[in-house]
Amino acid sequence: MRRVQRTLVHWILPAFAVAALVAAVKPAAMPAQEAEPLAIVVNRSNPMSEISLADLRKLYRGQRSRWSNGRRVTLVMRDPGTPEREAILQTLYGVDEDEYRRGFLQAVFTGEAIGAPRVLASPNGVLRFVFNVPGAIGYVRVSEVDATVKTLRVDGRLPGEAGYRLEVPEQ
């Protein structure tokens, strides 16, 4: 028994402590980069004009599948590797590309999510898709937004207002 305790004190606990330290150490902060707000856009017929970040997370994770008018939500994502997509993965999913794929596949596998998002290659494609599909929701840089879609306030803020949390490095 004493040997077990000694092993625990001398080896296992320090090992856990070191592991915890390693986990806590974060890479050195990168130099600050100019950021551009990312606008969340929906079809103009969508009755919503505002959404909370928590609800946006639920939508993008497939945990909410219907709009308030009963129409099914159609998610739009940009191509893998684009800064816009990475910003959304970081802010709404809190994961990287591999974990995102695995998580969404698992949600579809368990029946929790209805289907994977539509992946579009350009902001034009996103705007066009959102314009054409009443239940669609997507994201583009604020400089790419036009009058064919509606920009949602997130937590009461429009893109660029103080406290708006969806940002992407400037091009």
Partner 1 sequence: MAALCARAQSPTVRPLYAPLAGMQGMPDTELDVGAQPSEPPEPALALLMRLAEAPAGADATAMAHPAHRPDAGQHADHEQHAHDGLRSADEKASEDDPDAPFSPQFQVHLFADMKYAAVDTTGSRNGFSLGQFDLFGRSELSDAVNVIAEATLTALPRNTFSAHLERLMLTYSPSDVFSASVGRYHTGIGYYNTAYHHGTWFQTATGRPLIYAIDGDIGVIPIHTLGVSATGSIRSGSLGLHYLAEFGSGRAGQASAAPATQPALNDNNTPSVNGALWIRPEALDGLQLGVSVYRDRLTLIDTTKAPNDETIAAAHIVYKTDALELMTEGMIMRHDPLGGAPASDSRGYYAQASRRFGTTRPYVRMDYLDIPTTDPLFAFLGKRYGPSVGVRYDFQPFAALKLQTSHLNQTTRPDMSRFDAQVSFMF
**Footprint of partner 1 (CB under 8 A):** 19, 23, 36-37, 39, 43-45, 54, 57, 63-66, 70-72, 74, 79, 94-99, 101-102, 105-106, 108-111, 114-115, 118-125, 127-129, 131-135, 142-148, 150-151, 158-161
End-to-end distance of the chain based on CA atoms, in angstroms?
63
Q: How far is the CB of 36 from partner 1 (least distance, A)?
A: 8
How many angstroms separate the CA atoms of 91 and 106, rounded? 20
Closer residue to partner 1 in complex, CB, 31/70: 70
114 membership: H or E segment, kind and range = none
In 3-state terms the chain splits into helix, strand, coil percentages (rounded to 5) of 40, 20, 40
- Residue 127 token pair: 């705007």
Q: How far is the CB of 169 from partner 1 (least distance, A)?
A: 14
Q: How far is the CB of 130 from partner 1 (least distance, A)?
A: 9
